[in-house]
Structures are given as C-alpha cells and as structure tokens.
C-alpha cells in the first residue's frame, strides 16, 4: 500500500494523508518501513544512507509494534505477510489495509483483524466521520 | 529549543481557530502548532511522492506495478 501511495494518487495516498491528520492510528511494523526503504533505494534510486524526510513523516505518525510470537503462523503463503499479520494481532489493530491480492486480501480476517483494501478503509473512515 | 513564530491571520480565521481549539480543549498555540506539524509532515511526504513519481515515469513504472515491485524486493532478500 505504501508503494502505491507514493506512485499515484488514490485511496492509499489519501489514507496516509488521513493518518497524518490523526484521523486514525497508523501502525507500521519496522519490517514494513525497512522494506519500503529497500524499494526506494533499489527501484527508485534513493540514497540508502540518508533517510528521506517523507519516510520520517511515516515514522513520526505511525506506531511500531513488534510481532506477537504466539501469532507467527504460516497463513498467507508468504512469510513476510505472515509477519505483518502477527504484528497486526500483537498491536490489536482493527484492520489491515493492503493492495496485496495474492496473499493478504484472500485471508479476509485473521484473529479478529479484518483485511481490506485501502479503498474500503477510506470509505469506512468517511462513513464514521459523517455519522 | 522552542522559538516563537508570529503570524498575522485574518480576524475571521482567528475567531474560527479559537472556537475549534476550545472545542478540542487546546490552547490557540497548541492548535496552531499541531496544524503546522501536520502541514510539515504532509509536505515532507508529498516531496517523497513527487520524487518517486518522477522516477516511476522515467522508469516506466505505474501503480499496477506496486505489488510486483514488493515481490521482487522480497525475492532479492
């Protein structure tokens, strides 16, 4: 979702803006930020030695939670996504917003955490703010 | 270290800001500081977006490639 938010305008990008405006609590595991920085370096040529201020914004607004070891299970078929699920359970988040249609979205719900698209989460947030 | 920023704003805007700050239980200063923090954070993120979009365009990368890019990075280890 973070890569999509950077490449184009759309729900992922709007969700980040909502998080910056404190409309919901954003939880980003360290592993996700590390992965984003690798993408920025290897695919978009950013200097890996200097953290971009835009990444600093994500770290400023997000909470980092370590994965719950008891929740580490092979669920999605991708160990990196299993780690995200374990972090989400450990952080007791309500939802995971993701564009990953291969591994995460098909799970739909895991230990009380709903897995939905950024578009669906944005719609829910707008519904909450208008009610 | 905290420094003082003096900003002139139209009366109407200040009245509205005071009212909103009160409703949130914040002082005028806290309200203005929070707004400034948000704007700085957003602008930092938008700077990164502009950079990535420029690079994506040069490299022929579109939004439909986001998932593939993450998969490739994971496969590279």
Residue B62 sits in which domain range?
A: 20-76
Chain A residues with beta carbon closer than 8 angstroms to that of B53: 6-8
Residue B7 covered by a domain? no
Contact A48, A37 (CB under 8 A): yes
Domains of chain B: total: 1
Residue B1 covered by a domain? no
Q: Name the residue in chain A with its Cα closest to that of B47.
A: A54
Mean pLDDT score, B59-68: 91
Residue B33 covered by a domain? yes
Residue B14 covered by a domain? no
Mean pLDDT score, B62-73: 90
**Which carries the bigger pLDDT value, residue B58 or residue A22?**
B58
Contact A56 B53 (CB under 8 A): no
Treating both helix axes as pointing N-terminal to C-terminal, what angle do B66-76 and A30-42 enclose, rounded to 10 degrees? 100
Contact B63 A7 (CB under 8 A): yes
pTM above 0.80, yes or no: yes
pLDDT of the residue at A128:
86
Residue B6 covered by a domain? no
**Strand partners of residue A63:** A27
Q: Name the residue in chain B with its Cα closest to that of A58.
A: B45
pLDDT of the residue at A10:
92
Chain B residues with beta carbon closer than 8 angstroms to that of A45: 55
Mean pLDDT score, B53-75: 92
pLDDT of the residue at A70:
74
Which residues, in sequence order, are CB contacts of B55 under 8 Å at separation 6+? A43, A44, A45, B61
Residue B49 is nearest to which of A6, A21, A39, comparing CB atoms? Answer: A6
pLDDT tens, residue order, chain A (131 aa):
899 999 999 999 999 999 998 899 999 988 899 999 999 999 999 998 999 999 999 999 999 887 777 778 899 999 889 999 999 998 999 999 999 999 999 999 999 999 999 999 999 999 988 87
- Integer Cα distance of A73 and A65 in angstroms: 17
Tell me the ipTM for this assembly.
Answer: 0.88
Chain B residues with beta carbon closer than 8 angstroms to that of A38: 73
pLDDT of the residue at A67:
77
């Amino acid at each position: 979702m973070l890569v999509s938010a950077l490449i184009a305008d759309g729900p992922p990008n709007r969700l980040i803006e909502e998080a910056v405006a404190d409309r919901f609590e954003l939880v980003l595991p360290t592993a996700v930020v590390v992965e984003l920085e690798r993408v920025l370096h290897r695919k978009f040529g950013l200097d890996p030695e200097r953290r971009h201020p835009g990444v600093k914004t994500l770290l400023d607004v997000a909470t980092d939670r370590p994965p719950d070891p008891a929740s580490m299970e092979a669920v999605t078929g991708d160990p990196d996504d299993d780690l995200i699920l374990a972090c989400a359970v450990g952080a007791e988040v309500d939802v995971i917003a993701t564009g990953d249609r291969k591994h995460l979205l098909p799970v739909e719900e895991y230990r009380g955490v709903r897995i939905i698209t950024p578009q669906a989460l944005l719609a829910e947030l707008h519904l909450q703010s208008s009610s | 270290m905290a420094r003082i920023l003096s900003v002139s704003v139209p009366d109407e805007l200040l009245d509205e800001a005071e009212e909103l700050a009160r409703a949130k239980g914040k002082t005028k200063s806290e309200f203005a500081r929070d707004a400034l923090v948000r704007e700085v954070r957003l602008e930092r993120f938008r700077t990164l977006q502009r950079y990535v979009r420029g690079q994506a365009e040069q490299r022929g990368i579109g939004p439909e490639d986001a998932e593939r890019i993450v998969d490739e990075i994971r496969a590279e280890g």
